[in-house]
Structure 1
């Protein structure tokens, strides 16, 4: 099986020994899909070597707190990493340990949705091993506090960001408008507050020509919807329901949308 490049074992009942077995013939493996199995890697110590891996999907397994402290060696050209619904906690990402990706300049997609993350330190962990992400999903966790102020500088290649269904607090971060590549921003179902007009006006929105979707629904946002919302001429989807907005909407808001 040394010529195998794509392997999909998703939706089975495979266990952790499968993961260990795969490393024995993984020299040319580029895509590995193990989603929705019975893989448990809580105390995994076997040396796993995947030198050619580009896509890895371990979603819907049980990767508990010590998985990233093991001796993993993923390729520097890993592009897609999906760890959705893996029972990951804050302790799964020790700041002092070697990253799961030794050199991650190629990583463009990271999915950490539906886990048990509570601390915003996860952002700093991500910043430590990649700066070229295009898609980041951290929705449906338990994240509290504020998004770090240096987020826009560390994640200046993002196109898609989902932080919805968490417990994030504070004003809506204006620095999201400084990520010139950002096209989609989901912040719904948090505890974000602040004045919407101030958020729109204080952001540089250098991505105005590519920005397509903004979801701020189910937060605690106040103020009026500014007419400057019309500057987002490429906007396809705008969700502001269940906040505390006031005022009126007229043609000046909608003409350019």
Structure 2
């Protein structure tokens, strides 16, 4: 409490226990606080950190904090890492009842990591009003519902991880507008339907989508033609089947014909003296013709 000029505090990677001490409220100039990988506990939502109005980085990942997700974040906050704790808040409470403060205070935040907690509920569309967010990680929780189409508003997003939740429905087409996205993980949810096509979403590996049994389309090997595609009529499907059967029969016939012809010629040569003599006479005649043609061409160049 006597070190009021402190700007950066890093106590991560120790074996600290207990709560965040009230004396933290005296560090009014604090800009970054790293308490990660300790055994700290308590309710961070009511901690004295709310008086650190200059705080831009808060990293408390891998502790034992519980209770609600803090709502007192200062306007200066840029990076928020709360992963691997025991928060049990419904994610919608991040904005419920405080939507105006949330949008004005946190609109410049760059990174949010709330993974590996016990978050439940749905992702509120207001969460995606963080238009300057670059990294969002909500993986390893129990989030339900669909991915809101408002996710397309986060045009600066570079990394999105929603894996290992209980999300349902289709991947919204609006996600294709995230042109800066270079890391995507939607695996192990209950997503369904076709992955939006014609976008960079096909450039990610199938590992970004695995664990969604009803998801189909590139880059997954599962074809969507027989998976909820209502654009094809029964007649069109029958035509495709007839064409496929015709090609299969054609290729099989060509293969059988080649085999029969080849072994027929070989058998005639091997087992018939007359055919064998005729065959070698043909080869000798062909050799003589080639020799004469070669000499003629050589004389023409002299």
After TM superposition, is the score higher than 0.5?
yes
Equivalent in the alignment of 2:18:
15
Equivalent in the alignment of 1:138:
138
CA distance 1:102–1:59, shift in 2 (3 Å): farther
* Local SS of the residue matching 1:218: coil
* Local SS of the residue matching 1:132: coil
Equivalent in the alignment of 1:34:
35
Equivalent in the alignment of 2:265:
none
TM-score, length-scaled by structure 2: 0.62
Question: Following TM superposition, by how much is the alpha carbon of 1:149 offset from its aligned partner in structure 2, in angstroms?
Answer: 1.8
Question: Following TM superposition, by how much is the alpha carbon of 1:138 offset from its aligned partner in structure 2, in angstroms?
Answer: 0.5
Question: Following TM superposition, by how much is the alpha carbon of 1:97 offset from its aligned partner in structure 2, in angstroms?
Answer: 3.6
Equivalent in the alignment of 1:218:
211
* Local SS of the residue matching 1:185: strand
How many residue pairs are counted as aligned between the two chains? 216
Question: Following TM superposition, by how much is the alpha carbon of 1:186 offset from its aligned partner in structure 2, in angstroms?
Answer: 0.6
* Local SS of the residue matching 1:107: coil
Question: Following TM superposition, by how much is the alpha carbon of 1:190 offset from its aligned partner in structure 2, in angstroms?
Answer: 1.0
Could you tell me which runs of 5 or more consecutive residues in structure 1 were left unpaired when the two chains were aligned: 230-239, 248-257
Kept in 1: contact 2:61–2:81 (CA 8 A):
yes
Equivalent in the alignment of 1:190:
189
CA distance 1:138–1:15, shift in 2 (3 Å): same
Kept in 1: contact 2:187–2:212 (CA 8 A):
yes
Could you tell me which runs of 5 or more consecutive residues in structure 2 were left unpaired when the two chains were aligned: 226-302
Kept in 2: contact 1:14–1:38 (CA 8 A):
yes
Question: Following TM superposition, by how much is the alpha carbon of 1:79 offset from its aligned partner in structure 2, in angstroms?
Answer: 1.1
Kept in 1: contact 2:192–2:216 (CA 8 A):
no
Mapped to 1, the partners of 2:89 and 2:144 lie a distance apart of 12
CA distance 1:73–1:157, shift in 2 (3 Å): closer
Considering only aligned residues, what root-mean-square deviation do their CA atoms show, in Å?
A: 3.0
Mapped to 2, the partners of 1:38 and 1:114 lie a distance apart of 16
1:181 pairs with 2:160: no
CA distance 1:68–1:30, shift in 2 (3 Å): closer
Mapped to 1, the partners of 2:103 and 2:211 lie a distance apart of 35
Equivalent in the alignment of 2:253:
none
Kept in 2: contact 1:141–1:166 (CA 8 A):
yes
Judging by fraction of residues, say which structure has more helix: 2
TM-score, length-scaled by structure 1: 0.71
Question: Following TM superposition, by how much is the alpha carbon of 1:136 offset from its aligned partner in structure 2, in angstroms?
Answer: 0.1
Mapped to 1, the partners of 2:151 and 2:187 lie a distance apart of 18
Structure with larger Rg: 2
CA distance 1:25–1:77, shift in 2 (3 Å): closer
- How far does the alpha carbon of each residue in 1:9-57 deviate from its partner, in whole angstroms, 9 at most, with x for none? 1232232242x21121232x22101122323116736573112222111
* Local SS of the residue matching 1:90: coil
* Local SS of the residue matching 1:200: coil
CA distance 1:223–1:67, shift in 2 (3 Å): closer
Higher RCO (CA < 8 A, seq sep 6+): 1
